[in-house]
């Protein structure tokens, strides 16, 4: 008779797929931040300047401990507000890794920030329970609303805006803090009627700490050339200063300057 030797149970670490790391990020959340750009995105935003983050399941394989150990080396620069941001790509595609990393970061007293476009959001289980676990260890989320008009959103990104708006609604109703961001693209998002509607939509939300208008830029064009992908916005120039100010007025950005200081009371 053959007997099987008893084996010790080993817990496999959750693996994350990372595109790149920025150690002194100043635009992806409060203060100075360690930013992990996670690999993979299903959307195809015409203005995306990081098409090299699209492929899912590629990138550098890391564990949360490796990211945390690396991040903590920069902790002295974070001050009271900084911390760790996970961006993308679409970070929510790697929700298990986010839960693992942010849970450990919170145990170290580190501010956590999620940058997402909300495309993977669903109330289906088990995903939704994971999302609630993630929110419990996330201090603030940077959420892009690409277009409030769903048809124009679909043309711009390949998806309608239903999932991102339901995620925002959930955050609004459950005390999860957000920065709302909107990329201003001539001929795609820079329409007064859409900006007005977006401003009205955002003004009805709770827990919005900050609203930002991000002017479209063409710095990603060279990546499309390198990857051999046709650039979808050929011939479209960045918005003028006047149009940026116009969008900021419609979105009432000056009403949202008081984002919370960390540690939060
Ligand atoms: S969601 Fe972000 S990473 Fe994905 S295509 Fe759009 S801009 Fe690019």
18-66 residue pLDDT tens: 999 999 999 999 999 999 999 999 999 999 999 999 999 999 999 999 9
Q: Whose CA is nearest to atom 2 of ligand 1?
A: 89
Q: How far apart are CA 47 and CA 194, in angstroms?
A: 18
pLDDT for 240-254, tens place per residue?
999 999 999 999 999
pLDDT at 259 over 70: no
Evaluate the omega torsion of the peptide bond into residue 263 and state whether it is cis, within 30 degrees of 0.
Answer: yes
Residue 159: the pLDDT is 97
Q: Which atom of ligand 1 is nearest to the CA of 51?
A: 8
Nearest atom of ligand 1 to the alpha carbon of 146: 6
CA of 200 to the centre of ligand 1 (A): 24
pLDDT beyond 70 at 263: no
pLDDT in tens, 128-160: 999 999 999 999 999 999 999 999 999 999 999
Q: Spell out a b/e string for 147-170, using b for 16 or more CB atoms within 10 Å of the CB, else e.
A: bbbeebbeebbebebebbbebbeb
Q: Of 104, 88, 70, which is closest to residue 20 (Cα–Cα)? A: 88
Mean pLDDT of 98-119: 98
Confidence of residue 7 (pLDDT cuts 50, 70, 90): low
Q: What pLDDT does residue 237 have?
A: 96
* Of 138, 26, 127, the residue nearest 74 (C-alpha): 26
pLDDT of residue 6: 52
**What's the chain's average pLDDT?**
94
Opening angle at CA 163, ends 45 and 39, nearest 5:
50
pLDDT for residue 262 is more than 80: no
Determine the average pLDDT of the residues in 201-225.
95
Share of the chain above pLDDT 70, in %: 93
Angle between helices 127-136 and 95-107 (to 10 degrees): 20
The model's pLDDT over 173-186, given as tens digits with 9 standing for 90+, comes to 999 999 999 999 99
Average confidence (pLDDT) over 64-91: 96
Residue closest via CA to ligand 1's atom 8 equals 48
Q: Provide residues with CB under 6 Å of ligand 1.
A: 41, 43-45, 48, 50, 53, 88-90, 117
Q: What is the mean pLDDT of residues 106-124?
A: 98
Would you state the pLDDT for residue 12?
Answer: 87
Higher-pLDDT residue of 5, 170? 170
Which residue matches tokens 């001929």? 187
**What's the confidence (pLDDT) of residue 261?**
46
Note the pLDDT of residue 11. Answer: 81
pTM of the model: 0.93
Beta bridge partners of 114: 86, 141
Q: Which residue has the tokens 């008081």?
A: 258
Residue 253: the pLDDT is 95
Q: Which atom of ligand 1 is nearest to the CA of 53?
A: 3
Token pair of 74, please?
A: 């920069």
Query: Domain limits of the chain?
Result: 15-256
Cα(42) to centroid(ligand 1), Å:
8
Task: Indicate the class that CATH gives domain 15-256.
Answer: alpha beta
Give the whole-angstrom CA distance, residue 193 versus residue 149: 9
């Amino acid at each position: 008779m053959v007997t099987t030797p008893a084996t010790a149970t080993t817990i496999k670490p959750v693996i994350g797929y990372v595109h790149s790391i920025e150690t002194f990020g100043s635009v992806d959340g409060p203060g100075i931040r360690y930013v992990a750009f996670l690999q993979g995105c299903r959307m195809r935003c015409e203005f995306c300047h990081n098409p090299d983050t699209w492929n899912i399941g590629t990138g550098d394989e890391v564990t949360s401990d490796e990211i945390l150990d690396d991040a903590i080396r920069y902790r002295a620069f974070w001050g009271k507000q900084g911390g760790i941001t996970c961006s993308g790509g679409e970070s929510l595609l790697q929700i298990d890794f986010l839960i693992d990393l942010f849970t450990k970061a919170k145990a170290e007293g580190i501010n956590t920030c999620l940058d997402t476009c909300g495309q993977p959001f669903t109330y289906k289980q088990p995903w939704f329970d994971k999302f609630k676990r993630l929110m419990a260890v996330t201090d603030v989320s940077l959420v892009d609303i690409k277009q409030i008009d769903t048809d124009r959103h679909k043309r711009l990104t390949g998806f309608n805006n239903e999932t991102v708006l339901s995620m925002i609604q959930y955050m609004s109703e459950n005390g999860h803090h957000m920065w709302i961001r909107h990329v201003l693209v001539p001929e795609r998002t820079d329409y007064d009627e859409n900006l007005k509607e977006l401003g009205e939509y955002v003004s009805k939300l709770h827990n919005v700490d900050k609203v930002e208008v991000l002017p479209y830029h063409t710095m990603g064009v060279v990546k499309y050339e390198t990857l051999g992908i046709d650039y979808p916005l050929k011939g479209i120039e960045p918005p003028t200063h006047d149009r940026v100010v116009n969008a900021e007025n419609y979105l009432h950005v000056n009403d949202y300057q008081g984002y919370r200081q960390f540690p939060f009371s």
